[in-house]
Structure 1
Amino acid sequence: MNIQTVMVIGAGQMGSGIAQVCAQAGYHVVLNDMKQEFFERGIASITKNLTRDVEKGRKTAQQKEEILSRITMSLSIEDASKVDIIIEAAVENMEVKQSIFQQLDRIAPEHAILATNTSSLPITEIAAVTNRPEKVIGMHFMNPVPVMQLVEIIRGLATADEVYETVATMTKQLGKTGVEVNDFPGFISNRILLPMINEAIYALYEGVATKEAIDDVMKMGMNHPMGPLTLADFIGLDTCLSIMEILHEGLGDSKYRPCPLLRKYVAAGWLGKKSGRGFYVYE
């Protein structure tokens, strides 16, 4: 299948990043969100990234303008009627995603692939609300999308081989490395990463060491670029909690129980960098 037009649903941090890399690869991109201000915020983020590339000599000013010209605004999901693949990057909530996929199943052309950028929710369960489960697949991009090379390509129970191959080829054209993963809670990335972060939070909760010491051990002792508590703040503590709950519920093992301190911080609205305070305080 030849993909020419990509629709990205959600113009937030992940969606705008996905739109950028698709436009850079030469695809025509329809960037969809509910309000024009959300779209404009997403375009501003893309423009900022591209401007930085121009300043550092990685792109020319002309290339920047060509990339931006390949992105068009959409404020209606009905625009999915003229695309080849849709990559959904909406909020990490099963009911929201199922609602979107039910609409896409009705609107999108018969040949269109329906992909989700979910970081942990079951692809099979999302696909089950459509009449084309064989065309539903996970494309889990890493954050920040323009920088990170990995894409987890997750097969649902019914995902067709042809759909997987099409998405794997597209991933290469985006300049990314695709890794095939089967549909289990948290996939690979978050099944390994989030329990490590959760254990770091437990170490803080139990008074084993200060937050600075915990992060320093993992940075200087394990060569991680960022300590687990700083990383949790960057991801968002609400997102961390959500993924841990999905792992705990989906796998039924007590080792995935979210730390009470994580729950307390989320309840307090201390969500990390985006709220100005998490394990650390941000200006």
Structure 2
Amino acid sequence: MKIALIGNKVQQAEWETRPAAEPIDWLSHPAELTDQTICIDLLFEEKVEHELALVAFQKTGGVVVVNAVAKTCPELPVGFCRLNGWTGFLEKERIELVCENESMLNQLEEAFLKLNRQPEWVKDQIGFIAPRVLCSIINEAYLALSEGVSDKNQIDLAMQLGTNYPMGPFAWAEKIGKAHVLHLLEKLSAESPRYKPASLLKEEVYA
């Protein structure tokens, strides 16, 4: 088994805070794939043009896992698996994954254990679990900010001290990328109005 991860320097640095048990190949584009058997593309949400090269890799027998938080498996090419590959989650021991092809589960389980990660197999839904909950909190923080409850620093500090969060909601939004947060909320709001993005969040993203 030979594993390749596609990502940028920030993603690589965060991922490597939990060193893999075996060497892995870090690439910048799926066109660089050679003899690997599994490809995990952390850039997929931002680089949808990777899709053709990943499909070609899959046709050679390779297993493809993509960072697709705001999409479900039916929205991806057949056979693609998805994971929560957002910045801020890559250093965690457990990683949320969806794979609809049961024949791949054992292989992926083995691969992620080699990567020093414990797969958390979850339901195929938009936003997984942790990103969905976190984006709701971030959205609520933006609503509080727009209502003049407090400023960003005080809201972040209150959430850190009051709930023991590692970061406040605004710090999380910066780490993940506010555009990612907004995109997920927009997709979730099609399911329920409670996810309607705060106007202030939209203003900051589109500024």
Where does residue 49 of structure 1 map in the other structure?
none
CA distance in 2, matches of 1:265, 1:108: 38
With a CA cutoff of 8 Å and minimum separation of 6, indicate the structure with the bigger relative contact order. 2
Taking a change above 3 Å as real, the CA distance of residues 234 and 17 of structure 1, as seen in their structure-2 partners, is closer
Instruction: Say how many residue pairs are matched.
Output: 207
Residue 199 (structure 1) shift: 0.5
Corresponding letter in the other structure for 1:25: A
CA distance in 1, matches of 2:164, 2:14: 27
**Secondary structure in 1 aligned to 2:184?**
helix
Taking a change above 3 Å as real, the CA distance of residues 81 and 105 of structure 1, as seen in their structure-2 partners, is farther
Where does residue 163 of structure 1 map in the other structure?
104
Q: Kindly, what percent of the aligned residue pairs are identical? A: 24
Q: Tell me, which stretches of 5 or more residues in structure 1 are unaligned?
A: 34-76, 128-132, 269-283
Residue 265 (structure 1) shift: 1.1
**Greater share of helix residues, 1 or 2?**
1
Where does residue 26 of structure 1 map in the other structure?
22
Where does residue 7 of structure 1 map in the other structure?
4
Mark the structure with the bigger radius of gyration. Answer: 1
Does structure 2 conserve the Cα–Cα contact (< 8 Å) formed by 1:10 and 1:90?
yes
**Secondary structure in 2 aligned to 1:226?**
coil
Give the TM-score taking structure 2 as reference length.
0.86
Taking only aligned residues, the RMSD between alpha carbons, in angstroms, comes to: 2.5
**Quick check: 1:111 aligned with 2:61?**
yes
Taking a change above 3 Å as real, the CA distance of residues 137 and 254 of structure 1, as seen in their structure-2 partners, is same
1:83-162 counterparts in 2 under 5 A? 83-90=36-43, 92-93=45-46, 96-97=47-48, 99-108=49-58, 110-127=60-77, 133-134=78-79, 136-141=80-85, 143-144=87-88, 147-155=91-99, 159-162=100-103
Does structure 1 conserve the Cα–Cα contact (< 8 Å) formed by 2:42 and 2:66?
yes
CA distance in 2, matches of 1:217, 1:30: 38
Does structure 2 conserve the Cα–Cα contact (< 8 Å) formed by 1:140 and 1:151?
yes
Where does residue 180 of structure 1 map in the other structure?
121
Q: Tell me, which stretches of 5 or more residues in structure 2 are unaligned?
A: none
Corresponding letter in the other structure for 1:260: S
Corresponding letter in the other structure for 1:254: P
Does structure 2 conserve the Cα–Cα contact (< 8 Å) formed by 1:14 and 1:145?
no
Residue 124 (structure 1) shift: 2.4
Residue 25 (structure 1) shift: 2.3
CA distance in 2, matches of 1:23, 1:213: 35
- Post-superposition CA distance 1:37-80 (Å, at most 9, x none): xxxxxxxxxxxxxxxxxxxxxxxxxxxxxxxxxxxxxxxx4443
Give the TM-score taking structure 1 as reference length.
0.65
Residue 144 (structure 1) shift: 4.8
Match of 1:262 among 183, 197, 201: 201
- Post-superposition CA distance 1:233-278 (Å, at most 9, x none): 22222222122122223x2x1111110000111122xxxxxxxxxx
Residue 190 (structure 1) shift: 1.1
Does structure 2 conserve the Cα–Cα contact (< 8 Å) formed by 1:8 and 1:29?
yes
CA distance in 2, matches of 1:261, 1:254: 17
